[in-house]
Amino acid sequence: MKPTVVIGGGIVGLFTAYFLHKEGTEVIVVDKGDMKVNCSTGNAGMIVPSHIIPLASPGMISKGISWMLSSKSPFYIQPRLDKRLIDWCLLFYRNSNAKHVQKSIPYLKGISLFSKQLYLDFVKAHGNDNIRLQDKGLLMLYKTAEGEREEAEFCHVAQESGLEAEILTIGDIEKLEPNQRVDARGGIYFPEDAHLSPKDLYIQLKQYLFDQGVILKPGVSIEGFEKGVDNVNAVITNEGKIDCDQVMVCAGSWSDQIAKMLGFRLPMMGGKGYSFELPNTPPLMQASILTEARVSQSPYGNKVRFGGTMEISNKSEEINLNRVRGIYESIKAYYPDFKADFPQESQIWKGMRPCSPDGLPYIGKAPKWKNVAFGAGHSMMGLSLAPATGKILADLSKGKEGIVPLKGFAVDRYA
């Protein structure tokens, strides 16, 4: 029996390999990077069933225009003559409407709750000492009247969709953060959310797969495919040909290039984000999103990770310190007594998050090919949705229908 090849060794690819292995499938994971530092290790580690509103939504257009004027803003599109970028921006604009949001909510809610349960199952099976999953909710803090109005509307939408959500006063917030003075007007609390240590999860999962005999091949780039009439028979790499039974493409922001090799269109742009860890002093206790700044903070004992920004850019290796400074300045704005020094450049993580133009991932069978499936385009929710995506792809490989509706994630929706 030929192996299944998983293209992409990020957290989505590793969870796909994990569930394929559980089905008794021989798996080879290939990745063009080193499988050490990537979007899976430097993110906020949030598991967020509350995130039912896609990135492409009405407010993003109006906010995005004003944000474009500031080098420290949460959202930025690097202007350039690039057909891929122009096409992506046009699709993003067309999807940024209320109808799209309403259609997207059931899909995002279904897969997010499924993924959260799979995380709880994973912890039960493998322990929690390393990854430190903290099932204690997420707090959305706001400072302004406009922020209060927007978050109250979001709270109502979440409740109408069947999610737990509650509006908190500053007094309620102080009970969740007894060690810190919080400068906020109020907040929304989502008790079903959680967070964990993304780097430790990645290390543990990679080691588990290695111990189970899953072949992990870093530094391998895809050069093409050996194709039959409607099947891919082999993956052609810089290290030679790999005969395969099936192919699972979980290549993050590079997945559109793989799709092009397979003869169809998969609009995708890389959205660069930044994060850094600081000593947690005085200790923050509650994972939170600082809504006006679009900055996340996730505490892990004596360390806390701050992250944010969405920079649609083709300069993946550069660090824009002004954007990092925007994250840093938000810390004092919300936590005036938090002791924070601006991080050294060597302490700053950067990564290209794979963004579809409608804010929904691509999950499912690829057009034209019977034995190829994709799990990509998760934007800022790659870690949150990784177990569900992996389980869905493993089930599809065996011809099983899962419990999560997939129509909204169709891989061929722009093909």
pLDDT for 82 equals 85
pLDDT above 70 (res 348): yes
Contact 244, 227 (CB under 8 A): no
Cα-to-chain-centroid distance, residue 390 = 14
User: For residue 64, what pLDDT is reported?
Assistant: 64
The answer to whether the CB of 141 falls within 8 A of the CB of 287 is no
Q: Which residues face 363 on adjacent strands? A: 375
- Has residue 170 got a pLDDT over 90? yes
Q: How confident is the model at residue 309 (pLDDT cuts 50, 70, 90)?
A: confident
* Residue 310 pLDDT grade (very low, low, confident, very high; cuts 50, 70, 90): confident
Evaluated on CA atoms 343, 63, 115, 273, the torsion sign reads negative
pLDDT band at 66 (very low <50, low <70, confident <90, very high): low
- Where does 212-281 have alpha helices with state H? 255-261
Comparing CA positions, the residue from 214, 216, 247, 223 lying closest to residue 233 is 247
Q: With H, G, I as helix, E, B as strand and everything else as coil, classify residue 270.
A: strand
* Token pair listed for 47: 């598991």
pLDDT of 100: 95
Is the predicted pLDDT of residue 39 greater than 90, yes or no? no
Q: Does the structure show a pLDDT above 90 at 255? A: yes
3-state secondary structure of 152: helix
With a cut of 80, say whether residue 317 has pLDDT above it.
no
Scanning the structure block, which residue is given the tokens 């080098």?
A: 71
Beta strand pairing status for 75-77 and 303-312?
parallel
Q: What per-residue confidence (pLDDT) applies to 312? A: 81
What percent of the chain has pLDDT above 70?
Answer: 97
SS3 assignment, position 243: strand
Return mean pLDDT, the chain: 94
Distance from C-alpha of 410 to C-alpha of 66, rounded to nearest angstrom: 32
- CB 276: neighbour CB atoms within 10 A? 21
Confidence of residue 70 (pLDDT cuts 50, 70, 90): low
Confidence of residue 76 (pLDDT cuts 50, 70, 90): confident
- pLDDT reading at 17 higher than 90: yes
Decide: helix, strand or coil at residue 245: coil
Instruction: Give the pair of three-digit tokens for residue 378.
Output: 């998760």
> Sorting pLDDT into bands at 50, 70 and 90, what band is 37?
confident
Rounded CA separation 312/246 (Å): 32
Q: Quote the DSSP letter at residue 238.
A: T
Q: Are 15 and 389 in contact (CB under 8 A)?
A: yes
| Cβ(358)–Cβ(54) below 8 Å | yes
* Mean pLDDT along residues 302-326: 86
112 or 310, which is more confident: 112
> What pLDDT, on a 0 to 100 scale, did the predictor assign at position 61?
66
pLDDT of residue 80: 76
**Residue 335 to residue 342: CA distance in whole angstroms:** 15
Question: Per-residue pLDDT tens for 366-384?
Answer: 999 999 999 999 999 999 9
Tokens 């550069």 found at: 318
The radius of gyration computed from the CA coordinates of the chain, to the nearest angstrom, equals 21
The Cα–Cα gap between 328 and 333 comes to: 9
Chain-centroid distance of CA 218 in Å reads 21
pLDDT at 239 over 70: yes
Read off the pLDDT of residues 94-150 as tens digits, 9 standing for 90 and up. 999 999 999 999 999 999 999 999 999 999 999 999 999 999 999 999 999 999 999
For 270-296, write each residue's pLDDT tens digit: 999 999 999 999 999 999 999 999 999
User: Of 36-40, 59-63, 250-254, 332-336, which range is least confident?
Assistant: 59-63
Q: How far apart are CA 30 and CA 218, in angstroms?
A: 6
What is the percentage of the chain residues whose pLDDT exceeds 90?
85
pLDDT on residue 215: 98
Alpha carbons 300 and 286: distance in angstroms, whole number: 10
pLDDT of 188 reads 98
**Bridge partner list, 189:** 139, 166
DSSP letter at 348 equals: -
pLDDT tens for each residue of 189-235: 999 999 999 999 999 999 999 999 999 999 999 999 999 999 999 99
> For residues 246 and 225, what is the distance between their CA atoms, to the nearest angstrom?
12
